[in-house]
Structure 1
Amino acid sequence: MGETSQTGDLKLGGHTIAMGERRRVELPVARLPTDTWLTLPLEVVRGAQPGPTVWLSAGIHGDELNGLEIVRRVLDQIEPDRLAGSLLAAPIINVFGITSGDRYLPDRRDLNRSFPGSAKGSLAARLANLFMTEIVARSDLGLDFHTGSNHRTNLPQIRANLSDPTCLRCAEAFHPPIVIDASERDGSLRQASMERGIPVLLYEGGEALRFDATPIAVGVQGTLRVLVEMGMIETPPTAVPKPAAPCVVSRTSSWVRARRSGVLRLEALLGQRVAADEVLGSIASVFGEGPKRVRAPHDGVVIGMALHPLANRGDALVHVARLDA
C-alpha cells in the first residue's frame, strides 16, 4: 500500500498540504527546447478525516480525452470537509501528447509501456518514474482512465486483476457494463503499480480526440461509487445507485480481423450480444463487389469496434468478449 500518512501534512512536489485542504500542484517534468518548463498538473484534496489515498489519472495517451473530463466532474463533487482520506487527481499525465493531440511522447515512445521508468532514462522513463514516485507510492488504489484509439471506440468497461480482492470489490462497486479480468501488460502503469501491491482499475470507454457523453457519465458515476466503497465519501446526491444485478464479467476476448482490404460496413453495435458466427458486417470493394462477411468468433458481447470505414487486410475490426456462465 501507499506511503502517505493518513494524518498530518502531505508533502508533494515541494508543497505541504494539510488535512482538510485542497491544493493545485505542478510537478516539473522537463524543460522544452524553448527553455521553458513543462509541468504535470495535479489537484490534491485532503480530507478532514483520515482514510485511504486514491489517485485518478488520465491522459497517459495524449489523444485520449474522456478521462480528463471524468476527473474534472468527480473533483467538482469532492469537498475536503466531507472526505476521509486523500484524492490525488492527475487529469493529464502525458502533457506532451495532450498539447499536440498525439498518442505518444516526442521520442515516439508509448508512456504506458515505460513504467516504472527511471530517473536517468528516456523522456518516457523519466515521466513514468516521476508519476510512480510522487503519486503511486503515496496511494492505496488507482483509477486510470483510457479510451479507444486509432479510429476505434470501446464500450465502457473496467479492466482489472480480479484475483486481487480489492480490485474485485472496487470493480463490482464501479459496476460498468462489463468487467474484463485482464492480465497486466509489460511496462504499463497498472503492472508497475500492482507489482508494488497497489491495486488499479483501468477504465476504457469511448474514442479518442473527443468527449463521449455516455462513457464520461459512466466513468463519473463508477468513480463516485468506488470512493463510497472505499469509505472516503458519503453517497453524493447526484450519484446513481449501483444496479442490483451482478456485474457482467469476461475473462477472454477476441478481435475479428479483416480478411480483405476494402470498405467496411459494420452492422453490430457496442454492447450488442452476439452468437458465434453471427454476421457483424462486411468488407467489399468501393463498388460493393467481392464482399467478405465479418462474423463473430464466438458467443459474447461487442466491447470494441473500428470506426474508420476503410480497412486493410488484417486490421482489427470488432472486439468480442466471452461472458462468464
Structure 2
Amino acid sequence: MQEAIEIAGMAIAPGGRELLEIPVTRLPTQTSIALPVTVLHGCEPGPRLWLSAAIHGDEINGVEIVRQVLERVHPEQLRGTLIAAPIVNVFGFIEQSRYLPDRRDLNRSFPGSPDGSLAARLAHLFMREIVSRCTHGIDLHTASDHRTNLPQIRANLHDRETRRCALAFGAPVAIHATTRDGSLRQAAAKRGIPVLLFEGGEALRFDMTAIRVGVAGVLQVMTTLEMLPAAETSPALVPPEQPLSTSMPQEVFQTKWVRAARSGILRLGVRLGDRVEKRQVLGVIADAFGATAATVRAPIAGLAIGQTLNPLVNQGDAILHLAVLGADAPVALAIAPQGKHARNSS
C-alpha cells in the first residue's frame, strides 16, 4: 500500500491531489514569492516523476505542457507519484525574462546553496523539496536568443534507463548530450536520477506542435514506467500543425552549428526537420540591396534541429543547428549496465 508523501511540510495521502505554494522569498515590497507545485499521489507505489518548466522564465511551452498533462492524469489511475512544477523561475516568468533579478541563469546554479545567491537558494529549494523525492525527471525547455528548435530530447543515451525513457518519449530526435556545469540535469544525474531534457519551439511563443509532442511524450514515458495504463497515452487534444510521427526517434550523437561566414541579411532556404546533404545550399547572406551575396552551404550531412529567427546576422553567428547524420556521424558508445546511470552521466 502506498504511504503518504511529505513535501514542504505537507503530507499528501494516497489518491490525493494537492496544489502547494512553497515559500521562496519576499520582494523588496515584502510581497511573498512562492514556488507553485502540484502533487498527484497515486494509490499504489511506483516511480516518482517530476516535471519542471520555465527554469528559464521566458520558455513557456513547458508551462502549457504541464497544464495539459495535469488535465489528463488523475491520482486514482496513477501508480507512484507525479510532482509538477510548471513555473520554477517565478521571477523570470513574471518579467518575461530568461534570468533571475540578479541576471543569474538558474540552470547554471544547481545544486544550489541555502546561503548563496537568489538563484542558488531557489536551486537548493528545488533539489531539497522536489528532486530528492523523485526517481525520474523531465525538464521542459525551448530554444533561446531568437532561435527555435525542432522538438527533441537531450539525454545521456549511454545509460540504459535514460535511453529507454528517451526513446519512449517519441520526439523526432533523441540527442546524446553531455551535461552543463550547474544544470538541473547534471545535479540530478549525480544523485542517480535519469533525466530527460525536452526542447521545442521558441521563447515567449506557444508552438502547438512542440506542445503536442511534449504532452504525448510525457504520457508515453509515464506508461513506459508503468505509472499509467497504455490507454492514457493517446495524443494530446491540441490541433496539430502536422501529424505526430509514429516512427522511432532518430538517435543522434553529435550536432554542429552552421555559422555565418559574413555579416548581412540571411535568407534561409531550409526548415526544421529537413534533411540536408553535404555541400547543399542552405541559403544566402546578402546586403540590403542583394548586390553582394554569399552562399551558405551545409558542411556535413544532417537534420535541421534548430535555427535562428533573426535574419540580421554578424560574421560568426550561429544560423542553423544540424544533427550529424550519415558518414560524418560518430558511432554510439556502449550502453551502461542497468543502474549505473548515476556514475556514467557526464
TM-score bin, normalised by smaller chain? over 0.9
Query: What does 1:256-271 align with in structure 2 at a 5 Å threshold?
Result: 256-271=258-273
Match 1:167 to one of 152, 157, 162: 162
**What is the DSSP-based 3-state SS (H/G/I as helix, E as strand, rest coil) of the residue aligned with 2:2?**
coil
Q: Which residue of 1 aligns with 2:220?
A: 225
Match 2:8 to one of 8, 13, 16: 13
CA contact (8 A) 1:77 1:236 kept: no
- Post-superposition offset of 1:222: 0.7
Query: What does 1:1-325 align with in structure 2 at a 5 Å threshold?
Result: 7-236=2-231, 239-240=234-235, 245-323=247-325
Amino acid at match of 1:306: T
- Post-superposition offset of 1:24: 0.2
CA contact (8 A) 1:53 1:88 kept: yes
- Post-superposition offset of 1:294: 1.7
- Post-superposition offset of 1:7: 2.7
**Farther-moved stretch of structure 1 (258-267 vs 61-70):** 258-267
Amino acid at match of 1:275: E
Ranges in structure 2 where 5+ consecutive residues have no aligned partner: 237-243, 332-346
**What is the DSSP-based 3-state SS (H/G/I as helix, E as strand, rest coil) of the residue aligned with 2:163?**
helix
- Equivalent residues, number: 320
TM-score when normalising by structure 2 = 0.90
**What is the DSSP-based 3-state SS (H/G/I as helix, E as strand, rest coil) of the residue aligned with 1:42?**
strand
Q: Distance in 2 between matches of 1:74 and 1:52?
A: 17
Seq. identity, %: 56
Q: Distance in 1 between matches of 2:248 and 2:100?
A: 39
Q: Distance in 2 between matches of 1:164 and 1:134?
A: 26
Report the RMSD for the aligned CA atoms in angstroms.
1.5
- Post-superposition offset of 1:246: 3.2
Amino acid at match of 1:317: I
User: Where do 4+ consecutive residues of structure 1 move more than 3 Å?
Assistant: 240-246
**Farther-moved stretch of structure 1 (229-238 vs 213-222):** 229-238
TM-score when normalising by structure 1 = 0.95
**Farther-moved stretch of structure 1 (60-69 vs 244-253):** 244-253
Q: Distance in 1 between matches of 2:144 and 2:122?
A: 21
CA contact (8 A) 2:220 2:233 kept: no
Q: Distance in 2 between matches of 1:169 and 1:237?
A: 19
Q: Distance in 2 between matches of 1:97 and 1:87?
A: 24
